[in-house]
Homo-oligomer: A and B are copies of this chain.
């Protein structure tokens, strides 16, 4: 008969994170750039006390265990209070991405059966338009004080967040319950079909916070001043509101303005040393810094993920600005972190160029996550850095199923259990470094061979005249598909189609070079900053390629 351990039984609850921060890093600051325009400062001790008031306020509105509290909000302290106040008291925090189409937002709120919707002033017009379509929402709460409440609004019984909070005394003890209870929901911003909800648990969230803060992951400590550019309205800002409490670091929450100038000023004023965001954010910041011949006085490290970071951008950040780039990969269904690129001891003696090539990959899984690459029949492929296959993962912070969907998304691998298919195509090398080569739907299938759209984009991005590039498949009578490169030039820079195509020579196999280049003024992005390939393919659906070079 098994012998049981004799250790204290303490569930892994989200409330324990903010209690820890309040007790042991109580005077560490949380600084927010408010929607109202000013800077707000308080501490982890204040945040914990106000989160308890939020928990009381939500209970006073009649919410009960399991009820969903939706948010439409930027990165800010009130959003953080709802994260903890809702989840910590047994409710479910449902962050909605405000960059989705209005119809999708209403659809998501109805699908999740949200009971309350809390939103920033920015989204007042949006909610005024949508409120009548949100059937389950019983209370609309504007996340501001009385002075900023609208005189008139079409939203029935609109409540004021600060009034709700201030009506409570904070005399509230965080409840204990099963750590597998749902803590939060995030919908994937799918490009096709309806969005699907990932339902995180307290356990998965706390374990993810642990794993994500590790030295080989985000390496977070109480010495850091962290500015999450990644939005709290999507995948919990890569867990930073949780891992930040776990390590007790200073948090700087940037609010709605994520342009280069706003970010740069916040970095400098608050002496931010650490950040996290998608590549497009850094594109904007770097452009601003370069144009104004500025330097960073405190910024030292950033995690870049959400989509592959162009190597040229990594080089600029590291070589020109002294900012270490930690390349990461994850997705909504993974809470979101899966891999990060950090060298092993054996790599420390490699020449810098070889180290760079490793760091440009998406890297190693963090403990807890396991991965495989499989062919279209589900058979595992070798870890040789060459074979590319469908990336599948599993672990305690990977989803088992989607909210309200009976059908399992998991893939059974014979003798190896169930895995979540990511929809990414990747290689894994002998050192277990994973590299995304494409989204399975973005790969360009030319004459039975696969061309990685990401490879084509990275080469283009290394050209000094290219601001942003996207490679998409164009139908071709002989080869099925051939690549078209869509390019936004840098302001004032010039480059011809011919020069750009010549730039590929020697950098990739001849047959993989794009057939044509289309110059545009803007490339469409998804709500989470990724290039919208589907929209691009629609835009160029009738595009006629010149006589195929290899045709």
A residues apposed to B, CB below 8 Å: 1-10, 12, 16-17, 20, 23-28, 65-66, 68, 90, 92, 177-178, 180-183, 198-204, 207, 210-211, 213-216, 219-225, 246-250, 335, 342-346, 348, 364-365, 367, 370, 394-403, 418, 420, 430-432
If the complex has contacts A8-B394, A20-B367, A432-B25, are A223 and B342 also in contact, measured as CB distance less than 8 A? Answer: yes
B6 and A400 contact, CB distance less than 8 A: yes
B4 and A181 contact, CB distance less than 8 A: yes
Q: Which of B5, B23, B210, B220 contacts A200 (CB 8 A)?
A: B5
Question: How many copies of this kind of chain does the complex include?
Answer: 2
A253 CB → nearest B CB, Å: 16
B222 and A344 contact, CB distance less than 8 A: yes
A215 and B219 contact, CB distance less than 8 A: yes
Q: Which residues of B sit under 8 angstroms from A400, Cβ to Cβ?
A: 6-9
If the complex has contacts A28-B346, A222-B345, are A7 and B370 also in contact, measured as CB distance less than 8 A? Answer: no
Q: Which residues of B sit under 8 angstroms from A178, Cβ to Cβ?
A: 2, 4
Q: Which residues of B sit under 8 angstroms from A348, Cβ to Cβ?
A: 223
B432 and A23 contact, CB distance less than 8 A: yes
Q: Which residues of B sit under 8 angstroms from A68, Cβ to Cβ?
A: 3
Alpha-carbon separation in the docked complex, A1 to B221 (Å): 37
A337 CB → nearest B CB, Å: 14
B247 and A215 contact, CB distance less than 8 A: yes
A386 CB → nearest B CB, Å: 18
Seed contacts A3-B181, A5-B180, A6-B401; 13 additional CB < 8 Å A-B pairs? A2-B90, A2-B177, A4-B178, A5-B199, A5-B200, A5-B202, A6-B182, A7-B180, A7-B397, A7-B399, A8-B397, A24-B365, A222-B344
Q: Which residues of B sit under 8 angstroms from A199, Cβ to Cβ?
A: 3-7
Q: Which residues of B sit under 8 angstroms from A12, Cβ to Cβ?
A: 396
B344 and A1 contact, CB distance less than 8 A: no
Alpha-carbon separation in the docked complex, A395 to B204 (Å): 18
Closest residue of chain B to A222, judged by CB? Answer: B344
Q: Which residues of B sit under 8 angstroms from A65, Cβ to Cβ?
A: 1-2
B344 and A25 contact, CB distance less than 8 A: yes
B215 and A220 contact, CB distance less than 8 A: yes
Q: Which residues of B sit under 8 angstroms from A17, Cβ to Cβ?
A: 367
If the complex has contacts A23-B370, A213-B215, A367-B247, are A221 and B342 also in contact, measured as CB distance less than 8 A? Answer: yes
B7 and A396 contact, CB distance less than 8 A: yes
A183 and B5 contact, CB distance less than 8 A: yes
Alpha-carbon separation in the docked complex, A182 to B2 (Å): 8
Closest residue of chain B to A21, judged by CB? Answer: B367
B5 and A204 contact, CB distance less than 8 A: yes
Q: Which residues of B sit under 8 angstroms from A402, Cβ to Cβ?
A: 6
Alpha-carbon separation in the docked complex, A253 to B246 (Å): 32
Alpha-carbon separation in the docked complex, A348 to B432 (Å): 36
Q: Which of B7, B203, B225, B367 contacts A398 (CB 8 A)?
A: B7
Alpha-carbon separation in the docked complex, A123 to B250 (Å): 52
16 contacts between A and B (CB under 8 A): A1-B65, A5-B200, A5-B203, A6-B400, A6-B403, A7-B397, A7-B399, A8-B394, A20-B367, A23-B370, A27-B430, A28-B345, A215-B215, A215-B221, A216-B221, A223-B344
Closest residue of chain B to A365, judged by CB? Answer: B24
Closest residue of chain B to A181, judged by CB? Answer: B2
A203 CB → nearest B CB, Å: 7
Q: Which residues of B sit under 8 angstroms from A246, Cβ to Cβ?
A: 367
Alpha-carbon separation in the docked complex, A418 to B176 (Å): 14
A198 and B6 contact, CB distance less than 8 A: yes
Q: Which residues of B sit under 8 angstroms from A346, Cβ to Cβ?
A: 27-28
A26 CB → nearest B CB, Å: 8
Q: Which residues of B sit under 8 angstroms from A183, Cβ to Cβ?
A: 5
A342 CB → nearest B CB, Å: 7
Alpha-carbon separation in the docked complex, A418 to B8 (Å): 9
A223 CB → nearest B CB, Å: 5
